[in-house]
């Protein structure tokens, strides 16, 4: 069994998170990559780690991390820059071109990298998502029970559970087709639509944005961490 871990990167060094969010500003500072990399190195065993950089003004120091490949995009393709650049050609309200936003490019560009390197699985672990335990192997174990195309967090509590995704690389072409043809105007609910037409495995562990976190769990993945949660992850 072989896999590649993918993630995205953008950081401007201000430490400012989206207004109203409870997440620690540290999750948008350069230090988050060091914490993220430590957890990925400790609990996963990928052939490579692929980070898709959205033209970030600040990038992680990879000089001593030969297992990391960084792919640089030419621009930051978040929704607002796309709207400013393309106007009516990109309409976030109707979903036109939504499958070309930054998060989508980061996931699927690194996923195609995995497919063309002939590994069995691709694993997406978002930039601010931290893990504990052998979550990848546990997810693949669940997927094998039903020969699932991909797995992600349970939608019974939230449809926004896209911080940790495992997909079978041979299923990537039909996964991309289903995602690109979905009608939702946000990437997260597009995955939910995709789960209705493909064989999706809902993982029986992990949190994503759901709270509270039971820190005694053997397998954890969570994002949008508060300062207290971030410190607990580091100490765990």
Given this model, what pLDDT does residue 120 score? 98
Given this model, what pLDDT does residue 21 score? 63
Q: Give residue 102's pLDDT band: very low, low, confident or very high (50, 70, 90).
A: confident
- Integer CA distances (angstroms), 22 to 6, 44, 154, 215, in order: 25, 28, 22, 19
Q: Give residue 18's pLDDT band: very low, low, confident or very high (50, 70, 90).
A: low
How do beta strands 49-53 and 3-9 pair?
Answer: parallel
Three-class secondary structure of residue 108 per DSSP: helix
Least confident of 12-21, 23-32, 59-68, 181-190: 12-21
Given this model, what pLDDT does residue 95 score? 44
What's the pLDDT tens digit per position in 146-178?
Answer: 999 999 998 776 566 899 999 999 999 999 999
C-alpha to C-alpha distance for 181 and 193, rounded to whole angstroms: 9
Contact 69, 49 (CB under 8 A): yes
Given this model, what pLDDT does residue 45 score? 98
C-alpha to C-alpha distance for 159 and 182, rounded to whole angstroms: 15
Tokens 């192997």 -> residue: 137
Percent of the chain with pLDDT over 90: 69
- Integer CA distances (angstroms), 160 to 95, 120, 156, 163, in order: 17, 26, 10, 8
| Token pair belonging to 107 | 């996931």
pTM reported for the whole predicted model: 0.91
Q: Counting beta carbons within 10 angstroms of the beta carbon of residue 150, is it exposed (0 to 12), middle (13 to 18) or buried (19 or more)? A: buried
The residue ranking higher by pLDDT, 127 or 20, is: 127
Average pLDDT, the chain: 88
Range of the domain at 125: 3-235
Percent of the chain with pLDDT over 70: 86
Given this model, what pLDDT does residue 28 score? 87
Find all residues with CB under 8 Å of 189, minimum gap 6, and list them: 159, 182
Cis before 143 (ω within 30): no
Domain count, the chain: 1
Would you list the DSSP string of 97-109? Answer: TGGGSHHHHHHHH
Of the ranges 90-94, 186-190, 204-208, which is most confident? 204-208
Least confident of 105-114, 125-134, 153-162, 192-201: 153-162
Given this model, what pLDDT does residue 19 score? 52
Task: Supply the DSSP symbol for 203.
Answer: P
Contact 165, 188 (CB under 8 A): no
Q: Give residue 93's pLDDT band: very low, low, confident or very high (50, 70, 90).
A: very low
Give me the CATH number covering residue 100. Answer: 3.90.550.10
């Amino acid at each position: 069994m072989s896999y590649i871990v993918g993630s995205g990167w953008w950081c401007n060094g201000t430490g400012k998170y989206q207004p109203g969010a409870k997440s620690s500003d540290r999750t948008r500072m350069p230090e988050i990559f060091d914490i993220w990399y430590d957890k990925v190195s400790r609990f996963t065993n990928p052939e490579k780690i692929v980070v898709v950089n959205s033209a970030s003004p600040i990038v992680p120091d990879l000089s001593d991390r030969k297992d990391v490949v960084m792919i640089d995009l030419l621009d930051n393709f978040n929704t607002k820059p796309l709207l400013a650049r393309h106007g009516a050609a990109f309409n976030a309200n109707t979903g036109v071109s939504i499958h070309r936003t930054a998060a989508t490019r980061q996931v699927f560009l690194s996923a195609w990298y995995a497919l063309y390197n002939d590994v069995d699985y691709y694993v997406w672990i978002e930039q601010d998502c931290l893990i504990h335990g052998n979550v990848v192997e546990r997810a693949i174990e669940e997927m094998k029970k039903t020969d699932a195309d991909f797995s992600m967090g349970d939608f019974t509590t939230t449809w926004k559970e896209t911080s940790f995704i495992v997909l079978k690389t041979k299923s990537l072409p039909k996964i991309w087709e289903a995602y690109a043809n979905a009608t939702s105007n946000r990437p997260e609910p597009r995955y939910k639509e995709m789960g209705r037409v493909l064989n999706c495995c809902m993982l029986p562990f992990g949190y994503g944005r759901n709270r509270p976190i039971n820190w005694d769990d053997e397998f954890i993945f969570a994002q949008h961490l508060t300062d207290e949660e971030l410190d607990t992850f580091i100490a765990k």
